[in-house]
Amino acid sequence: MRVLLVEDERPLAEMVRRGLAREGHSVDMAHDGPAGLEAALAGAHDVVILDIMLPGLSGYRILQRLRAAGVWTPVLMLTAKDGEYDEADAFDLGADDYLTKPFSFVVLLARLRALQRRAGDARPSVLTVGDLKLDPARHRVFRGDTEVTLTPREFGVLEHLMRHAGEVVTKTDILRAVWDAHYEGEVNVVEVYVGYVRRKIDAPFGTTSIETLRGVGYRMVEP
């Protein structure tokens, strides 16, 4: 992998760089927010390891600007902040994973491998299924000319279904894509959120765009 490491703690950054190099990975480094943003915007990396507390520009703002610019390189947030709200903020802004310092290098490697496996092709700027439009960068959804307000989790469920429009998507697929890697609850939570989404994008408009295939999963179709 070609990795971009944005970390202002230079001894830690060097330790991680050496470890990744020993595993055969190429590592570029930046030690402040503006330099990290510039390097990440180039989109030349397989994954970005991004600290939250950076001089000049926080990791949150870097992540926000990357996603707004349509750069979907997988991002692993690396931070000393250990709180559920910090973690939730990172995922809502578009992070793919989150690791709290101090961390195990073995776990870091495993997380990077998982991100590489999940990484897909470049994502379109606006997703469209019939008259339903979803803009990932601006976090907005429209049914025709009417804007529909979704929670971050509902938005993630709808986005995943729209990216795989016409395909059968299982509950497990949605859970892996939308919930974080450490979720250990019931898979049926997906059914609940699909219901929430239907009540917002379909019920008020008399449409049916999410089909249920009993025992299999869901499929996004044009109404």
Tens of pLDDT, residues 150-185: 988 898 899 889 988 999 999 988 887 777 545 677
For residue 183, the model assigns a pLDDT of 65
Average pLDDT, the chain: 86
Q: What is the pTM of this model?
A: 0.55
The two structure tokens encoding residue 177: 């894509």
Cα–Cα distance measured from residue 99 to residue 188, given in angstroms and rounded to the nearest whole number: 26
Rg of the chain over all Cα atoms, to the nearest angstrom? 19
Cα–Cα distance measured from residue 36 to residue 90, given in angstroms and rounded to the nearest whole number: 17
Quote the DSSP letter at residue 203.
Answer: G
Please report which helix (H) or strand (E) contains residue 29, including its range: strand 26-30
For residue 83, the model assigns a pLDDT of 62
Alpha helices in 79-188 (DSSP H): 84-93, 105-118, 152-163, 171-178
When pLDDT is averaged across residues 29-37 and rounded to a whole number, the result is 95
Quote the DSSP letter at residue 78.
Answer: E
Tens of pLDDT, residues 121-136: 445 568 899 999 998 7
